Structure 1
Amino acid sequence: MDDSISVRELRANLARLLDQAEEGEPTVITRGGTPVAALVPIEEYSALEEAADELLAREALQTLAEEGDAPRATLADVLADIFGPPANVSEEGAA
């Protein structure tokens, strides 16, 4: 990723930079000279997401294997931890 541009240049040249990304050329975006983001071809982004998902899945499986008989949580428990307990909706209000 040798090509880097400022946010100002990004705004002025967005269409050209999107064309370059479609052609496989990544661009680093800087703010005040510091790299803050990258404009990459969607294929590269998708591959990075997939690799990250696979790594997280492997780590989760390893943790499960190490914990063995540790208490298990249901999906409902996990969702409640993330989003809070479900709201009780009466039949009258559920129209």
Structure 2
Amino acid sequence: MDDSASVSVREARANLARLLDHAEEGEPTVITRGGTPVAAIVPIEEYNALEAAADELLARKALQTLAEEGDAPRATLADVIADIFGPPKPDVA
């Protein structure tokens, strides 16, 4: 994205339709706030490719962790849910 255009938040608000047209044409746009890049409007194909790459990276890291842990005990989904929400509450009817 080194050759992408850059616009302020104000410019992005005023020209959103044009920026979306540029994205459809394959041109990314960086949005800045106070001169600092904070977001980007990118073609959906680039976004999807980034998401797929992130998913692949996470899957590889998970497989590596599983291989490193060997036969170590693992938490079940029920354990994780209980840790997040607490133990199940009895039905009150």
Q: TM above 0.5, one fold? A: yes
**Structure 2 Cα separation of the partners of residues 61 and 86 of structure 1:** 29
**Structure 1 Cα separation of the partners of residues 86 and 81 of structure 2:** 8
- Specify the SS of the correspondent of 1:70: coil
* TM-score under structure 1 length normalisation: 0.85
Report the counterpart of residue 50 of structure 1 in structure 2. 52
| Corresponding pairs, count | 91
Q: Over the residues paired in the alignment, what is the CA RMSD in angstroms?
A: 1.5
Q: Unaligned 5+ residue runs, structure 1?
A: none
Question: 1:86–1:27: structure 2 CA closer, same or farther, 3 Å change rule?
Answer: farther
Following TM superposition, by how much is the alpha carbon of 1:19 offset from its aligned partner in structure 2, in angstroms?
Answer: 1.1
Contact in 1 for aligned 2:82/2:88 (Cα 8 Å): no
Report the counterpart of residue 12 of structure 1 in structure 2. 14
Question: 1:65–1:31: structure 2 CA closer, same or farther, 3 Å change rule?
Answer: same
* TM-score under structure 2 length normalisation: 0.87
Q: Unaligned 5+ residue runs, structure 2?
A: none
Q: Which one-letter code corresponds to 1:84 in the other structure?
A: F
**Structure 1 Cα separation of the partners of residues 87 and 24 of structure 2:** 44
Question: 1:11–1:70: structure 2 CA closer, same or farther, 3 Å change rule?
Answer: same
Following TM superposition, by how much is the alpha carbon of 1:79 offset from its aligned partner in structure 2, in angstroms?
Answer: 2.5
Report the counterpart of residue 37 of structure 1 in structure 2. 39
Report the counterpart of residue 24 of structure 2 in structure 1. 22
**Structure 1 Cα separation of the partners of residues 78 and 56 of structure 2:** 24
Q: Deviation above 3 Å: which 4+ runs of structure 1?
A: none
Percent of residue pairs bearing the same amino acid type? 79
**Structure 2 Cα separation of the partners of residues 89 and 42 of structure 1:** 46
**Structure 1 Cα separation of the partners of residues 55 and 87 of structure 2:** 28
